Amino acid sequence: MSEQPFNLEPTDLPDPPDVPGIVNVLGSADEAIDLLLADMLEAADRVVEERGRFDLVVSGDRQLESVWLRMMLDPDLRTFPWHATHLWFSDASGAAEDAVESVHARLQESLILPSGLEADHVHPISNAPTESIASIRADLGEQPFDAAMLAIAADGGVIECLPAVVIERLTLLGILVIGQGGAEGLKALEQNSDQTSDCLGRCQDGLRWYIG
């Protein structure tokens, strides 16, 4: 078994800031990841039953590598409908094209190949707004993105890695807050709560935080 890339021991986290959405405060990072994935599995099963396809957006944040490992190894997640899942991803730093390729390479090793996702079910999201809108519309039409998984950055950044066109089409947005980086990120959020509320307000109905 590969070593987990982050120390998942419980961390003393501050009280969560006043942010939009549902805030789940768990006793440990493991519990936070378990609840996040349970909610994602429930959403995936429901959507696949309704229309035969689940569109999942993920960030390239390394904090999420623990999540991918759990998805591959946890017996409770063996029924995840990968055959009907389409994976969308963008560069976590919103940076250059080579950074996007790096995210793709990491996801290829940790998630895409182990899950058995078909190549035509994997969709990089361009950082160029016009290109991203065109590619999304070509594949999804007017359908929403069913869910997204992000991790909070130590500087408090949350959704900067996703183009606005993605945020506006999200049905469920799960944000993971774990470890020391998560604790620092929450402190940064408290200092910029107005800006955070403005950004995340667009996802308020489907926004969930998983803190552990």
Q: How much is the CA Rg of the chain, to the nearest whole Å?
A: 16
Answer yes or no: is pLDDT of 98 > 90: no
- Edge-to-edge strand order for the sheet containing 147-151? 22-25, 207-211, 173-177, 147-151, 54-59, 85-90, 122-124
pLDDT of residue 2: 47
pLDDT band with cut points at 50, 70 and 90 for residue 92? very low
Question: In this predicted structure, which of 9-23, 41-55, 104-118, 157-171 has the lowest mean pLDDT?
Answer: 9-23
Share of the chain above pLDDT 70, in %: 77
What predicted TM-score, i.e. pTM, was given to this entire model?
0.83
pLDDT of residue 95: 46
Give Dmax over CA atoms of the chain in angstroms. Answer: 45
Share of the chain above pLDDT 90, in %: 41
List, in order of start, the domains of the chain with CATH numbers.
Answer: 22-211 (3.40.50.1360)
Residue with the two structure tokens 């940064």: 188
Contacts of residue 121, defined as CB under 8 A and 6 or more positions apart, other chains included, come to 85, 86, 87
Lookup: tokens for 26:
């768990």
Answer yes or no: is pLDDT of 13 > 60: no
pLDDT of residue 188: 81
Answer yes or no: is pLDDT of 97 > 90: no
pLDDT of residue 77: 95
